Structure 1
Amino acid sequence: MREIYYDELTGIYNRRFLYYWVDNEIKRANRFATKFGLIVIDLDDFREINNNYGHLEGDKVLIEFSNFLKGTVREVDSLVRYGGDEFIVLVPNTDARGIMEVAQRILESLNKTEIANHKIHCSIGFALYPDDGMDIETLINQADRLMYQAKKEGKNRIGLKAEIIRKIELPPRIFIGRENEINWCFKQLKEYNAIFICGEAGVGKTRLALEIKNLYPDSRYLRANSYAALNAVPYHPFCNMFREFIHRDFVTVQRVLRQIPEVHRQEIIKLLPEDKVAFTKVEELDKYRLFESMSIFFNRLTEILLPSTVLLLIDDLHWSDYASCELLDFLIRRIPKNLKILCTYRIEEIKNSSLSQFIGIWARENLFSKIELAPLNSVQTFKLLEMIMGNVSQSLSKFIYDLSGGNPFYIEELLRELERENKIFYNGKEWVLLSEKELKIPSGIEATILRKIQFLDEETKQFLEICAVYGQEFNDEIIALSAQKNIGETIDAIDRLLKLGFIKERTKDYFFFSEDIVRQVVYKNIARGNLMKYHHQVGLAIERYFNTRLSSYYEQLAYHFTIANEPAKALHYSKQAGLKCKENYAHKQAVEFFINALKFEENLDEIFKIKSNLADVYYLMGENEKAIKNLDDCLKINPNDYKIYNKIAQIY
């Protein structure tokens, strides 16, 4: 009679014993007010073993798996082969925590073990009497449902009830692990009016700067973002600052402008978005008068907003153009008492930047205080993970810290990758890592971003690449025009990119890359043919979208059409951008645009004009030899132009 309860192949109990045991266990549980549980285990992809190695090999795996279970569960637990590759562990006198511990032990042990020389995984579901059912059919159905849920979520895990499922929350709501740095900044801002926050990409420079504003509850916050794609555009961080300030508080901007002298108001208006200006613009811009006007603007703003503190964040200062650095050089020496300037820059990018020509001087003159932001340590990393995920196992925390080196951006990207690959899951008590043996984790931030891109569908990837080519904050309309797609498709793509963490929302209508290094990596890996096409499409979109105020976009259009290799448009906008930069005393940028125009210009009369303008700029920069060289070139084209002789005489 005893033989009828055993499975012939594996030697463990069979389905008949299951019904016998549960029937008796229900009676015992009711009598003594105890609980018991069922754990359903199904081998993942077992069919592949039968198909690839034959049924005899499959039987061998089932036998060894049964032996593995015997050595893993408690002595009081019973094992049942429910059918095929499905097993049930009968767990007497337990509760929810106890049954989860048994299930977790099975899963973790299996991930460290080979079964008959095969790497085997399983999906697990469970049920508890009487919580999940009062009869065997209900209990098995509940355990089966959770087991299939585990299969659906990626296999090699325990299916969990909805009320205990935990979700990863990215980005974290609260800033973790930088308490000492925040306190340091607060103390330094009592002595200095400017703080520079530097560090590697993704270390949290901007987030620290944003947290500092919480130290000033009544503060007004201005943000001037610098972009790599705009570093040929004079004063672009300050133009971005005005654009955002006007969007948030147009009344205050108007109030300040009306209270400063007309000559200075006209200078500042040159930096305002053309569609927002309620005053008449003038055509000329005097550099030092502009600088003085900006100083007056900030002084008047701080007076109006007293006793509030005004915080100006210049983010990614290493991407700022030379003219912006000159303006900052002027302002940083004349900061009113209740204006605090916060600048962030990336250490590895400063060497060849415009900033490199100023920061040493500012440091020697003690005009700012600097903090170099280090990665998080292991304890801070653990706290950050707990904020993002809830309870985290020490082994998972150590694994992520060792890989990320404590870089917060890399930590977040690793979590997204592990979750996407279903390599971590919540076991009812804490988040745990599955076996490391099969993990394919990118070795650094760039590799992580590239791997993330690989899993995008082609349409979403195209939208991402176009956003990278556009290179600055964007809205759905400009991206729709650039991608040549309808607005509905564009909004859907932007939503997907938001969910995947590629971009973030600045305001209701504007978006930006979560980290500029994300944009850099995306841009660097666009195929050459697509790159030219995208720059062409973005250039056309800017012409169409900003057609009433194109002068504000001459520099960007020159850049886009140059890369798109469209000679006529590249020439036209390079000349216009050069003249604009010359008028705005952005001499270095003017030289770059005029030289670029010469690459495309074939008409001698036009070459003459460009060379003459180049000579003017070089003369203003004090580079007389280069000025003479360009004037000599003009005389070769037209030896009788007396104006050129006058310019040469003026230089000598």
Structure 2
Amino acid sequence: MKEGTKKRRATKKRSLAYLDDLTGIYNRRYLKKTKKEIEELQERSIPFSVVIVDIDHFKEINDTHGHLKGDEVIKEFSQFLTGTLRATDTVVRYGGDEFVCVMSNTESKDTQQIYARILDRCKKRNFGGLNISISAGIASYPADGGEFDELLKIADESLYDAKRSGRGRIGTIHKKRIELPTRVYVGRREEKEILKGFLTEGNGYVRAALIEGNIGIGKTRLVKEVLNTITGREILWSDCLAFFEGISYYPIREIIKYKINRQGKKIINDIPFAYKIEIGKLIPEIMEEVKERIDEIGLVLDKYRLYESIRRIIELGETKKIIIIDNMQWSDRETTEVIKYLLRSLRNSPITFIFIYRQEEKTDVLEDFTSYISRETAVKKVGLEPLERSGIQQMVNIIIGEKPDNELVTYIEQGSGGNPFYVEEIIKGLNEAGYLHVEGDTWHFEGPGAKIIPKSIDDIAERKYQGLSKEGREILEIASVIGRFDIDIIKDITGYNEGHIIGVIETIKRLGFIKEREDRIEFQEEISRGAIYKRYVSDMKGRMLHKRIGEKIEEQYQGREHEVTEELAFHFYRGMDRTKGVVYCLESGDRAREQYANQSAIRYYTWAEELLRNQHDIEHKRTRIDCLLKRADVLSFIGDNEGAMKNFEEGLKLAQAIADKKREVDIRFRKASLYVNISQYSKATEEANECIKLYEELSDKKGIALVLNAIGNTQGFFGEYNNALKNYEESLLIFREIGDKNFEARVLNNQGLIYMNLGDHNKALRHFEDSLKTKAERGDKYREGAALNNIGLIYMSFGNYKEALKIYEDALNIFREIGNKYGEALVLNNIGIINGDWGNYSEGLKFSEDALKIANDTENRYCEALALKNIGTIHMHLGNYDRSLRYFDDSHKIAERTKSNELTFINLASLAYLYLSMGKYTEAKEYIDKVYNQAKSLKSQRMLRDALAFLCDFYLGQKEIEKFEETIQKLNEIPETLRPKKFEGDSNLFMARYFVEIEDFTKADKHAKKALAIYDDMGDRLSTGIVYYYMGISELQKGDKTAYKKQMKKAVKVFTTLGAKGWKVKADKMLKKNG
């Protein structure tokens, strides 16, 4: 299609959107366009009038003669009205039988005369063969008001007066009228000052305000009133809606959509591609743009990549922001987890969050969330209490425009309990029932008793519902099922024309059921929608409506169903549509898993499984098994192993009943993995053996290889390294035979890890490099980064820090490219270790602190413990022993909480090293014994090596030479493969110190020089300085003070350059003491 044709069609489509489908005149949407024209009239001080015209008793026409006759009357009347008025006047079908006329250059008096003639002419002719009368309400600029919306409201009140006064006339504008909603926010001065102060002070860090109170108390309005007084901040507002509680991250999605709609999709151009993919999981339109390139990056599931993508989007724009989430009582847990991440990761940003919630509906999710943020950040809680009598009196005064008498205030006070929402509803009810009316120029109140006073929001919804016409009730019921007022869907279900529906919706709006947004019409209160749905939509009717609504939404989004998958799943599940319900529920469950919304995934899989129960055909049973497996996988992932096992058992019975061997073996494989997770290894082995038998029956070589690889993983975990290698080798042969490069790379990596644990670093390196090559060829970025990190560890053990650093930097770039925070933190920790060993302490601290921040943001306790330990080590080298001890203690606490043997050993060793450095040998020995005992308990040669090294250091410090000799002999028995370069340097330094003690200075000098050469080659400057220190002591023992001073001054220079205060103090003391 040519570009010009496309533009003409688009223009025509926009034009049709402004026309009423029944009458052909302008529709309600056109009024927004009219507002701009009116602003021009006001700028030029040209008077104009706004008129609302309504056909009297139109409902009776529909009821008596049918909707077709009603439509005929509407069409002929619209032609009459447009034909009677000037061509310059604008006539809009406002809805149903209501029309709005905007008459430029026409003052009130002239408009009154024109409409008096129109009313008279209507009475003298037929419309659709029927006699009708009309009523009109008029408001003119500037006599009656300044703003268009204000004039429209006044004209509506004038029309209401005409109806109440007998119809067939022009209404009167009363100076005394009820102003609802209240234009002034009454009272709350203290609360406004507290909130404003909190929002405007302390701009350098993230914080949160909690606004709580009962429904209708004025929480949302308080926030809006305060925000109206604040400038220089980006405001992001979103609601949690109970109807959309099943859609994970709903308020977060709304915030992102708002930013994209306001600033354009270009705002995501600068964020890494991996993060765009995550945004696409929440905003399907974005996914459409990036899905073609997803295979370019190998991504693993990582919820923190999603969280980080949200953070990056939110940070765009103005630096100072206020982010509001209303109705937090309906928030899903996934949303609260995102917000927790934002609070942690944006802790040094000038961003304030405001969370508004109903006190009486506080859920466990919200309770956990508010407790968390109260611990983690600065929080200000603002609670709204009911208005006191003076506040109620002021509010009534504003609503009715005069000071109310005491009897009225007392009645409202007793009925409302000081709740502003109830105050407004009672006044509205009193006025409509005639108990509050104008006599002369004053309001008059007659006490009606208790029947006007609402008992609850449900009660208010019930009364309003009962006051609607049959069509109004029908539309309200349909909207309660949709969750919003979707005119297209309502039109499809009812058969009413758009204008009629809009008219009915306008009536519903006047009753306070509705709030309008730019792009949709919603229920004012979710509790009202729920009340209508529960009370008036029967099970059978509900199923029918949900199914039809699902079909209509599917039609609206044809070709773009992915944008509303969750909504379709909800409606087809409620509509008991088995075919479509299962499809959309499974799609929604899979999407929820991709979004890391596990509870939502479980719910969708449960819906799908429920729809398939009691179905006896094979395909339905197979699909039900798939539902059970998907749900079990999620349950296992979140730690509900019992629930997962029940699903596996149920699925297994179904698979065996229909003789589906493929599904049976898939279930058994998952069961085996689950048994490993819950430490039931004999059962895991039984299931694994059954899997191999079944895979052999199915001639499924890949399945056999996967089981062998899984068995190898378990054996490796328990230190059965030789058995693990045997199974890995069998698995590797099969993967190579079938050409599965992906799993070939994984097995090679697993073998590398085993060889690394065995201390055979050369073999480990070969396997890691072979794995890396395969992963790089396949574009598996995550595993490529993991392999590089492992290779870096090998080069560190070789003492080749330069090569290790180069490899780590490559790994870091990959992990950052794909947004993998866990990998990034691990690599940053390792780079921090290298810089620390090199004596680049400021750089080492920077990398380790960056790793610590990521670990804290992502709640990764393993990386957090490692980072704390690394930071503690650097402070130890700097001589900041107290700070070092705090970091080690914090790391050790995490190790104890997580019950990690590896972390426990690392921290016990760090504490032993610290106390040795401080010269506190009693404390050092306590921790060395713990290190030694754990190494023996775990039967780890690597750990035993480190424990023996500590003992050597301890015995030399205590001059217990015989014990040192016993210990160094054991240390020398450690296999060659477990003796990295740093270990060789340390061993030579131990021997140099030992020979000084027994006064064999030739051998002492020989070992010191060996140690010095190793440390120099590694770039380990601190260890180099320590060797100079002990060489100086050796010279002192020999009696050569000149050589002693020379070596000691070398040591002092190194320690001074590095800032290693602890060692510098030792060296300075030696120089001072021995000249």
Q: Does residue 542 of structure 1 match 2:553?
A: yes
The separation in 2 between residues aligned to 1:241 and 1:428, in whole angstroms, is: 51
Q: Which residue of 1 aligns with 2:666?
A: 643
The separation in 1 between residues aligned to 2:457 and 2:595, in whole angstroms, is: 39
The separation in 2 between residues aligned to 1:173 and 1:421, in whole angstroms, is: 23
Q: Which residue of 1 aligns with 2:527?
A: 517
Q: Does residue 605 of structure 1 match 2:605?
A: no
Q: Does residue 616 of structure 1 match 2:616?
A: no
Compared with structure 1, are the counterparts of its residues 185 and 321 closer, same or farther at alpha carbon in structure 2 (3 Å cutoff)? same
Q: Could you say what secondary structure the match of 2:536 adopts?
A: coil
The separation in 2 between residues aligned to 1:579 and 1:272, in whole angstroms, is: 15
Alpha-carbon offset, residue 310 of structure 1 = 2.2
Q: Does residue 527 of structure 1 match 2:557?
A: no
Q: Is the 8 A contact 1:598 1:607 kept in 2?
A: yes
Deviation by residue 1:304-340 (Cα, 9 ceiling, x = unmatched): 324xx32221111111222112111211223363322
Q: Does residue 242 of structure 1 match 2:256?
A: yes
Q: Does residue 401 of structure 1 match 2:413?
A: yes
The separation in 2 between residues aligned to 1:536 and 1:447, in whole angstroms, is: 29
Q: Which residue of 1 aligns with 2:456?
A: 444
Matches within 5 A, 1:478-489: 478-481=489-492, 483-489=494-500
Find the partner of 2:376 among 365, 370, 384: 365
Matches within 5 A, 1:280-295: 280=291, 282=294, 286-295=302-311
Matched residue count: 487
Q: Does residue 384 of structure 1 match 2:400?
A: no
Q: Could you say what secondary structure the match of 1:266 adopts?
A: helix
Compared with structure 1, are the counterparts of its residues 273 and 153 closer, same or farther at alpha carbon in structure 2 (3 Å cutoff)? farther
The separation in 1 between residues aligned to 2:443 and 2:567, in whole angstroms, is: 47
Normalising by structure 1, we get a TM-score of 0.69
Q: Could you say what secondary structure the match of 1:342 adopts?
A: strand
Deviation by residue 1:592-614 (Cα, 9 ceiling, x = unmatched): 11122111213221122112212
Judge which range, 583-592 or 217-226, deviates more. 217-226
Alpha-carbon offset, residue 445 of structure 1 = 3.0
Q: Could you say what secondary structure the match of 1:622 adopts?
A: coil
Q: Which residue of 2 aligns with 1:228?
A: 242
Compared with structure 1, are the counterparts of its residues 643 and 262 closer, same or farther at alpha carbon in structure 2 (3 Å cutoff)? same
Letter in 2 for 1:212: V
Find the partner of 1:178 among 159, 178, 188: 188
Letter in 2 for 1:515: E
Alpha-carbon offset, residue 290 of structure 1 = 0.5
The separation in 1 between residues aligned to 2:625 and 2:528, in whole angstroms, is: 43
Deviation by residue 1:482-541 (Cα, 9 ceiling, x = unmatched): 54533222211222222222102122x422222222222222222314333332332222
Letter in 1 for 2:419: N
Q: Which residue of 1 aligns with 2:356?
A: 344
The separation in 2 between residues aligned to 1:451 and 1:375, in whole angstroms, is: 24
The separation in 1 between residues aligned to 2:488 and 2:287, in whole angstroms, is: 19
Matches within 5 A, 1:22-421: 152-153=164-165, 162=172, 165-189=175-199, 190-191=201-202, 193-247=207-261, 249=262, 252-272=263-283, 274=285, 280=291, 282=294, 286-299=302-315, 301=316, 304-306=317-319, 309-335=320-346, 337-351=349-363, 354-394=365-405, 395-421=407-433
Q: Is the 8 A contact 1:176 1:384 kept in 2?
A: yes
Alpha-carbon offset, residue 618 of structure 1 = 1.3
The separation in 2 between residues aligned to 1:164 and 1:555, in whole angstroms, is: 50
Compared with structure 1, are the counterparts of its residues 628 and 444 closer, same or farther at alpha carbon in structure 2 (3 Å cutoff)? closer
Alpha-carbon offset, residue 240 of structure 1 = 2.3
Q: Could you say what secondary structure the match of 2:560 adopts?
A: helix
Letter in 1 for 2:233: S
Q: Which residue of 1 aligns with 2:860?
A: none
Alpha-carbon offset, residue 277 of structure 1 = 6.9
The separation in 1 between residues aligned to 2:623 and 2:163, in whole angstroms, is: 70
Alpha-carbon offset, residue 163 of structure 1 = 6.4
Instruction: Between the two structures, name the one with larger relative contact order (CA 8 Å, sep ≥ 6).
Output: 1
Compared with structure 1, are the counterparts of its residues 407 and 537 closer, same or farther at alpha carbon in structure 2 (3 Å cutoff)? farther
Q: Does residue 491 of structure 1 match 2:502?
A: yes
Deviation by residue 1:145-194 (Cα, 9 ceiling, x = unmatched): xxxx999559xxxxxx9565422121122322222211111222335621
Compared with structure 1, are the counterparts of its residues 165 and 277 closer, same or farther at alpha carbon in structure 2 (3 Å cutoff)? farther
Alpha-carbon offset, residue 462 of structure 1 = 1.4
Letter in 1 for 2:426: L
Q: Could you say what secondary structure the match of 2:345 adopts?
A: coil
Q: Does residue 470 of structure 1 match 2:482?
A: yes
Q: Is the 8 A contact 1:414 1:448 kept in 2?
A: no
Compared with structure 1, are the counterparts of its residues 246 and 478 closer, same or farther at alpha carbon in structure 2 (3 Å cutoff)? farther
Alpha-carbon offset, residue 362 of structure 1 = 2.3
Alpha-carbon offset, residue 345 of structure 1 = 1.1
Compared with structure 1, are the counterparts of its residues 365 and 338 closer, same or farther at alpha carbon in structure 2 (3 Å cutoff)? closer
The separation in 1 between residues aligned to 2:606 and 2:412, in whole angstroms, is: 49
Q: Could you say what secondary structure the match of 1:195 adopts?
A: strand
Q: Could you say what secondary structure the match of 2:324 adopts?
A: strand
Alpha-carbon offset, residue 391 of structure 1 = 0.4
Q: Could you say what secondary structure the match of 2:224 adopts?
A: helix
Alpha-carbon offset, residue 420 of structure 1 = 1.5
Alpha-carbon offset, residue 280 of structure 1 = 4.7
Q: Which residue of 2 aligns with 1:84?
A: none
Q: Is the 8 A contact 2:210 2:379 kept in 1?
A: yes
Deviation by residue 1:246-281 (Cα, 9 ceiling, x = unmatched): 44x1xx243431222222222123222528976557
Q: Is the 8 A contact 1:220 1:311 kept in 2?
A: yes
Alpha-carbon offset, residue 585 of structure 1 = 1.4
Compared with structure 1, are the counterparts of its residues 340 and 559 closer, same or farther at alpha carbon in structure 2 (3 Å cutoff)? same
The separation in 2 between residues aligned to 1:273 and 1:387, in whole angstroms, is: 47
Q: Is the 8 A contact 1:172 1:387 kept in 2?
A: yes
Q: Is the 8 A contact 2:516 2:522 kept in 1?
A: yes
Deviation by residue 1:66-106 (Cα, 9 ceiling, x = unmatched): xxxxxxxxxxxxxxxxxxxxxxxxxxxxxxxxxxxxxxxxx
The separation in 2 between residues aligned to 1:514 and 1:544, in whole angstroms, is: 27
Compared with structure 1, are the counterparts of its residues 244 and 385 closer, same or farther at alpha carbon in structure 2 (3 Å cutoff)? farther
Deviation by residue 1:51-74 (Cα, 9 ceiling, x = unmatched): xxxxxxxxxxxxxxxxxxxxxxxx
Q: Which runs of 5+ in 2 are unaligned?
A: 1-160, 677-1075
Compared with structure 1, are the counterparts of its residues 305 and 588 closer, same or farther at alpha carbon in structure 2 (3 Å cutoff)? same
Find the partner of 1:572 among 556, 580, 583: 583
Q: Is the 8 A contact 2:306 2:595 kept in 1?
A: no
Letter in 1 for 2:479: C
Find the partner of 2:568 among 542, 545, 557: 557
Compared with structure 1, are the counterparts of its residues 243 and 416 closer, same or farther at alpha carbon in structure 2 (3 Å cutoff)? farther
Alpha-carbon offset, residue 406 of structure 1 = 1.5
Alpha-carbon offset, residue 561 of structure 1 = 2.4
Q: Is the 8 A contact 1:196 1:370 kept in 2?
A: yes
Q: Could you say what secondary structure the match of 1:488 adopts?
A: helix
The separation in 2 between residues aligned to 1:260 and 1:357, in whole angstroms, is: 32
Alpha-carbon offset, residue 460 of structure 1 = 1.0
Q: Which runs of 5+ in 1 are unaligned?
A: 1-148, 155-160
Q: Does residue 425 of structure 1 match 2:437?
A: yes
Q: Could you say what secondary structure the match of 2:344 adopts?
A: coil
The separation in 1 between residues aligned to 2:653 and 2:280, in whole angstroms, is: 41
Alpha-carbon offset, residue 446 of structure 1 = 2.3
Normalising by structure 2, we get a TM-score of 0.43
Letter in 2 for 1:228: A
Alpha-carbon offset, residue 568 of structure 1 = 2.8
Find the partner of 2:644 among 616, 627, 630: 627
Q: Is the 8 A contact 1:313 1:341 kept in 2?
A: yes
